[in-house]
Chain A
Amino acid sequence: MQWETVIGLEVHVQLATRSKIFSGASTAFGAEPNTQACAVDLGLPGVLPVLNEQAVAMAVQFGLAVHADIPEVSVFDRKNYFYPDLPKGYQTSQMYHPIVGAGDVEITLDDESTKRIRIHHAHLEEDAGKSLHEDFHGMTGIDLNRAGTPLLEIVSEPDMRSAKEAAAYLKAIHSIVTYLGISDGNMAEGSMRCDVNVSVRPKGQEAFGTRAEIKNVNSFRFVERAIAYEVERQIELIEDGGKVVQETRLFDPERDETRSMRTKEEANDYRYFPCPDLLPVVLDQAYLDHLRSQLPELPADKRARFQNELGLSVYDAHVLSASREMAEFFEEVQQVCGDAKQAANWVQGELSGALNRENLSIQNSPVSAKQLGELISRVLDDTINGKAAKQVFQALWNGQGDSADAVIDAKGLKQVTDTGAIEAMIDQVIAESPAQVAQYRDSEPEKRGKMIGYFVGQVMKASRGTANPQQVNGLLKEKLDALL
């Protein structure tokens, strides 16, 4: 039987506010345990939450970026459950009236096709603390620094049909939130986490199969692997006459499998109700218009502009717009050198290669966008040839010079285009290579083209790589053919 996979994602994005969603405690990462957990975060008696305006603004910015409806009124609810890292006994969340309504996001797949994934809604909520299960004399240690950190939970419709589409969706969300600057998007530090809902159904069937939820998948790669495993498990189960049960599973990246989290005898009953400590949040049109006017150019718009105005291929435009830092670096290089295609080639080729080798992000590139742009300009105006350009890049990378021009001067890499100088070098090479000249003269005319390579190599060597290769080629041919 042919099976179809149906995937929906719940992505939790940690918002990059300075203080918590309902208190003035710091959200900075990596502090000593419990030094950033104040009375509100601890749920001590008598405290009242006050909503952080920046968390609201960031949520709305996301909504505007995914073309979502932003309802005028949103309401906070309490989700009640007991767990030691949730000292209040409930999580303040938005169940019935979320701040961001239905929207959509466009994903780009490997074959350069695009697909629209609908977003059901996005809501604001607070994060819980951390439980440390290492042995504290048979007890669990609780760090509440993270309690009260603002999260935006983005819930997709079940619109994805493969692990690749799910990963592309996650990347698209990552790219939007980092462009907006509403999250650092650091998955390793937990700034972006994702729950994956997966089910399978016979191809052509309309009704969804029973889904399993895989919790807390924290990398793009793990999303693909967790889905791949889970799909196979469900298909095997059904084909062997079994039934998928609706349950929560955990992905174990070390064993590359998902495992059932022990289902409690009693199903969760969160008893949601509106939080009496918080009033409805009302956003007016002027506020939305103001935030809309502050939006930066978003990845999809940049991609379109790179293709339409700069003439880049779909692939180049997609790669170069994936992160805001990459896009801004590329644009500066392009503006300095004035050639989008060359800028794209250098950023994706030489530069990205060097960054990957040294595991550096583009923000930490030793070669600045201005330096790279100027280097490309020197290739375009024939000051240096392509081979010398790579030497200049290496020198800039190693900090041996402040600019391409300085390196070119210091290393004497300026391309020799003076015909007289090149002819002198050619004459000398011909004079020193009687055997090769004889061979050239005696060979079939159609084989001479290949033999000329030896002479080109010698002349380039004599010029220490600075001669213009096209000129060398042309002049050599003339001089050698004159000897026939």
Chain B
Amino acid sequence: MALEESHVRRAAHLARLAVSDDQASGFVDDLSRILDMVDQLQSLDTDGIAPLAHPLDATQRLRADEVTETNQRDAFQRCAPAVENGLYLVPRVVE
């Protein structure tokens, strides 16, 4: 598929990445080459092959339902830019 600059901008926005105009056209070329490779993969006949959920041939191990963590709030909040009354503060998300 032909990738356009608008696709790159949209992907960057969804991933919250700041991409400059100069970078955007470069990414169009880079990502297009990746998509070309995917197109090549898609030309393979995969009928009757179950999609793989994980490359490891293993199943999920489960843990017992036990509380093993202790309160480490002070340590975690030392690397937060702003906290108050135990809450993390972030730029306002509703007007």
The CA of A64 and the CA of B71, in the complex, are separated in Å by: 36
Complex interface residues of chain A between 65 and 100 (CB less than 8 A to chain B): 73, 75, 80, 82-84, 97
Contact across chains for A32 and B86 when beta carbons are under 8 A apart: yes
Residues of B contacting A282 with CB < 8 Å? 59-60
Contact across chains for A140 and B60 when beta carbons are under 8 A apart: no
Contact across chains for B89 and A139 when beta carbons are under 8 A apart: yes
Is B67 interfacial (CB 8 A cutoff)? Answer: yes
**Closest residue on chain B to residue A134 by CB atoms:** B87
Is A445 interfacial (CB 8 A cutoff)? Answer: no
Is B47 interfacial (CB 8 A cutoff)? Answer: no
Residues of B contacting A54 with CB < 8 Å? 64-65
Is B53 interfacial (CB 8 A cutoff)? Answer: yes
The CA of A274 and the CA of B51, in the complex, are separated in Å by: 11
Q: A84-B93, A279-B53, A279-B56 are in contact. List 19 more A-B contacts (CB 8 A).
A: A32-B86, A34-B76, A36-B71, A37-B76, A38-B69, A42-B76, A53-B64, A53-B65, A56-B62, A73-B53, A139-B91, A140-B90, A140-B93, A140-B94, A142-B89, A266-B13, A278-B54, A279-B58, A279-B61
Chain B 63-92: CB-based contact to A (< 8 A → 1; otherwise 0)? 111111101110011000010111111111
**Closest residue on chain A to residue B16 by CB atoms:** A82
Contact across chains for A34 and B65 when beta carbons are under 8 A apart: no
Residues of B contacting A24 with CB < 8 Å? 63, 66-69
Contact across chains for A39 and B76 when beta carbons are under 8 A apart: yes
Chain A 249-280: CB-based contact to B (< 8 A → 1; otherwise 0)? 00000000000000000100101001010111
Contact across chains for A35 and B87 when beta carbons are under 8 A apart: no
Contact across chains for B85 and A33 when beta carbons are under 8 A apart: yes
Is B14 interfacial (CB 8 A cutoff)? Answer: yes
Q: Which of B10, B16, B56, B67 contacts A26 (CB 8 A)?
A: B67
Interchain residue pairs with CB less than 8 A apart (18) = A19-B66, A19-B68, A24-B63, A24-B67, A32-B86, A33-B87, A36-B69, A38-B72, A53-B65, A54-B64, A56-B62, A80-B14, A133-B94, A140-B90, A140-B92, A143-B87, A279-B54, A280-B59
Is A136 interfacial (CB 8 A cutoff)? Answer: yes
Contact across chains for B92 and A139 when beta carbons are under 8 A apart: yes
Q: A17-B65, A18-B65, A75-B53 given as contacts; is B88 within 8 A of A142 (CB)? A: yes
Contact across chains for A280 and B93 when beta carbons are under 8 A apart: no
**Closest residue on chain B to residue A25 by CB atoms:** B69
Residues of B contacting A271 with CB < 8 Å? 14
Is A138 interfacial (CB 8 A cutoff)? Answer: yes
Contact across chains for B63 and A52 when beta carbons are under 8 A apart: yes
Contact across chains for B62 and A51 when beta carbons are under 8 A apart: yes
Residues of A contacting B94 with CB < 8 Å? 133, 140
Contact across chains for A141 and B88 when beta carbons are under 8 A apart: yes
Contact across chains for B84 and A280 when beta carbons are under 8 A apart: no
The CA of A373 and the CA of B13, in the complex, are separated in Å by: 67
Q: A52-B63, A139-B91 given as contacts; is B53 within 8 A of A274 (CB)? A: yes
Contact across chains for A19 and B88 when beta carbons are under 8 A apart: no
Say whether chain B's binding surface is mostly helix, strand, loop, or mixed. loop
Contact across chains for B84 and A141 when beta carbons are under 8 A apart: yes
The CA of A50 and the CA of B64, in the complex, are separated in Å by: 10
Contact across chains for B86 and A50 when beta carbons are under 8 A apart: no
Is A144 interfacial (CB 8 A cutoff)? Answer: yes
The CA of A26 and the CA of B69, in the complex, are separated in Å by: 7
Residues of A contacting B65 with CB < 8 Å? 17-19, 52-55
Contact across chains for B86 and A33 when beta carbons are under 8 A apart: yes
A313 to B: closest C-beta gap in Å: 41
Is A23 interfacial (CB 8 A cutoff)? Answer: yes
B59 to A: closest C-beta gap in Å: 4
Nearest 7 Cβ contacts at the A-B interface:
A24-B68, A141-B87, A54-B65, A53-B62, A33-B86, A38-B69, A279-B60
Q: Which of A35, A52, A83 contacts B73 (CB 8 A)?
A: A35
Chain B 1-42: CB-based contact to A (< 8 A → 1; otherwise 0)? 000000000100110100000000000000000000000000
B29 to A: closest C-beta gap in Å: 22
The CA of A271 and the CA of B11, in the complex, are separated in Å by: 10
The CA of A51 and the CA of B84, in the complex, are separated in Å by: 32
Q: A19-B68, A26-B67 given as contacts; is B54 within 8 A of A280 (CB)? A: yes
Is A238 interfacial (CB 8 A cutoff)? Answer: no
Q: Which of B53, B67, B88, B93 contacts A144 (CB 8 A)?
A: B88
Residues of B contacting A38 with CB < 8 Å? 69, 72
Contact across chains for B53 and A50 when beta carbons are under 8 A apart: no
Contact across chains for B66 and A18 when beta carbons are under 8 A apart: yes
Residues of B contacting A50 with CB < 8 Å? 61-63
A358 to B: closest C-beta gap in Å: 35
Q: Which of B56, B58, B86, B92 contacts A34 (CB 8 A)?
A: B86
